[in-house]
């Protein structure tokens, strides 16, 4: 079937998300998928039991548009406990269809034509297309290597009267870097006295390793006042397909968010909200969960030692960036494609997360997989003779 008119959509310059492109390729070549970010090495039995219970008890219908009341309260309690921040569950917390919908809704309710939005790169690939579909302008700032930190003097030079928002990803995907207390002070200096809004994507917030601390925007009241904070449970509890995330914001900002949320999502996965609410209510040992992910990271990094890839263990998240010998001449994109087609392992090149496709000479592998799968992947990587 073909429409007889030529059509140019609103985000015509953006291609398919790198994951969709890579999924097609690794399915075709039957490669091991270490590219997509869905942890699946341990079933969360208690949470699955709660989900089954709520489906059986017929929590299968629309809920309040802003989300299950108890879940919102429990999320507010988490922010009180971990960050000392006070959010009112009824007016300042909204449950969303994953972090993705929260991000889409924030940007679509706040970004106007010609508004500038500062995005740090490498960046999770949802931000820029959503800014552009709302006629805003992404303003890119590269994170500084080797540890992918922010050079705040560069950010300060890019602030203009059109700057509407700064997007932070903390923990960062794909680099695994974390904001430090010093970053929040610099951020405060940068936005103080302006009406710039902040979007802090903290959806990997409970997966922080080696004793590092997660400094949420919620920690700093002067920043929290102008911030939308996005979180999620999909990765931490290994249920990414349930599509449940959340947004926190002061009441006035949340009021604007909800005006659009009601039309975009109306309501999200009811049974999952009941299950998550009960699960949080019972008390979750986030430290224990993080230590299980940390052990995965350690095991994967240890396995990588017998391959041509080098890894500095990440501080957070579920992805391990690796470097390779670039003098051989492959860009990271070329190497990622060669790995899928010839070696049978899928990772994502870091260049896929920058608008100008800068070659970082780095790939990103998801380590939150069963040991047997990691071992199988590494056996294949060991056979590489072209690096
Ligand atoms: C930094 C970041 N933000 C948002 C998302 C989207 O999360 P969700 O699956 O909850 O929509 C991801 C998923 O990988 C992510 O890594």
User: Where do the domains of the chain lie, and which CATH numbers do they carry?
Assistant: 18-43+286-382 (3.90.1150.10), 45-282 (3.40.640.10)
Using CA atoms, how far residue 66 sits from 33, 103, 261, 372, in Å, is 35, 15, 8, 41
- On the question of pLDDT at 153 being above 70, the answer is yes
Q: What separation in Å is there between the alpha carbon of 167 and the centre of ligand 1?
A: 14
pLDDT at 13: 67
Residues 288-316 have pLDDT tens digits of 999 999 999 999 999 999 999 999 999 99
Q: Looking at ligand 1, which atom is closest to the CA of residue 101?
A: 11
Element counts in the chain: helices (H) and strands (E): 13, 12
- On the question of pLDDT at 277 being above 90, the answer is yes
Q: How confident is the model at residue 22 (pLDDT cuts 50, 70, 90)?
A: confident
Sign of torsion over alpha carbons 140, 141, 143, 145: positive
Q: How many CB atoms lie within 10 A of CB 210?
A: 11
User: Is-contact 133 10, C-beta < 8 A?
Assistant: yes
pLDDT at 92: 98
Adjacent-strand bridge partners of 121: 142
pLDDT at 17: 67
pLDDT at 10: 74
Q: What separation in Å is there between the alpha carbon of 122 and the centre of ligand 1?
A: 14
CA-based nearest residue to 341, from 16, 18, 31, 23: 31
User: Is-contact 258 114, C-beta < 8 A?
Assistant: no
Say which DSSP state 369 is in: S
Average pLDDT over residues 87-110: 98
User: Is-contact 363 322, C-beta < 8 A?
Assistant: yes
Q: Looking at ligand 1, which atom is closest to the CA of residue 244?
A: 10
d(CA 50, CA 70): 15
Using CA atoms, how far residue 18 sits from 35, 321, 348, in Å, is 10, 16, 8
- On the question of pLDDT at 168 being above 90, the answer is yes
**Maximum CA extent, the chain:** 60
Token code pair at residue 126: 């949802």
CA-based nearest residue to 216, from 17, 81, 14, 355: 81
Upstream peptide bond of 171 is cis (omega within 30 degrees of 0): yes
Adjacent-strand bridge partners of 195: none
Residue nearest ligand 1's atom 14 by CA: 37
Q: What separation in Å is there between the alpha carbon of 288 and the centre of ligand 1?
A: 22
pLDDT at 24: 85
pLDDT at 154: 98
Classify residue 292 by burial, with Cβ atoms within 10 Å: 0-12, 13-18, 19+: middle
Residue nearest ligand 1's atom 13 by CA: 37
Q: What percent of the chain has pLDDT over 90?
A: 89
Q: What separation in Å is there between the alpha carbon of 105 and the centre of ligand 1?
A: 14
Q: What separation in Å is there between the alpha carbon of 207 and the centre of ligand 1?
A: 13
d(CA 316, CA 207): 5
> What is the average pLDDT score of the chain?
95
Q: Which residues line ligand 1 (CB under 6 A)?
A: 37, 98-100, 124, 169, 173, 201, 203-204, 232, 234, 240, 245
pLDDT at 26: 83
């Amino acid at each position: 079937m073909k429409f007889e008119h030529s059509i140019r959509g609103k985000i015509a310059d953006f291609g398919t998300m790198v994951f969709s492109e890579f999924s097609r390729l690794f399915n075709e070549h039957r490669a091991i998928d270490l590219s997509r970010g869905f942890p699946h090495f341990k079933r969360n039995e208690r949470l699955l039991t709660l989900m089954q219970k709520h489906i059986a008890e017929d929590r299968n219908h629309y809920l309040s548009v802003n989300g299950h009341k108890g879940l919102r309260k429990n999320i507010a309690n988490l922010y009180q406990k971990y960050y000392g921040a006070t959010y009112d569950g009824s007016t300042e917390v909204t449950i969303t269809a994953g972090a993705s919908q929260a991000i889409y809704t924030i940007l679509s309710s706040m970004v106007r034509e010609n508004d500038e939005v500062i995005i740090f790169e490498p960046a999770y690939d949802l931000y820029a297309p959503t800014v552009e579909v709302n006629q805003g302008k992404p303003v890119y700032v590269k994170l500084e290597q080797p540890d992918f930190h922010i050079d705040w003097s560069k950010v300060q030079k890019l602030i203009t009267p059109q700057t509407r928002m700064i997007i932070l990803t903390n923990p960062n995907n794909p680099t695994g870097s974390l904001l430090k207390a010093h970053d929040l002070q610099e951020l405060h200096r940068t936005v103080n006295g302006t009406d710039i809004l902040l979007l802090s994507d903290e959806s990997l917030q409970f997966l922080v390793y080696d004793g590092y601390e997660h400094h949420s925007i919620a920690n700093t009241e002067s920043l929290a006042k102008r911030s939308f904070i996005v979180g999620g449970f999909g990765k931490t509890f290994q249920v990414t397909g349930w599509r449940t995330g959340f947004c926190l914001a002061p009441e006035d900002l949340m009021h604007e968010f909800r005006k659009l949320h009601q039309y975009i999502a109306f309501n999200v996965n009811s049974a999952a909200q009941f299950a998550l609410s009960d699960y949080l209510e019972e008390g979750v040992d986030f430290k224990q969960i993080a230590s299980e992910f940390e052990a995965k990271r350690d095991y994967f990094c240890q396995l990588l030692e017998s391959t041509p890839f080098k890894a500095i263990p990440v501080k957070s998240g579920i992805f391990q960036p690796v470097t390779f010998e670039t003098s051989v001449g492959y860009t990271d994109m070329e190497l990622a494609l060669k790995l899928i087609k010839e070696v049978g392992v899928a990772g994502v090149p870091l260049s896929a997360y920058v608008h100008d496709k800068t070659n970082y000479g780095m790939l990103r592998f998801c380590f939150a997989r069963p040991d047997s799968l990691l071992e199988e992947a590494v056996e294949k990587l060991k056979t590489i003779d072209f690096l």
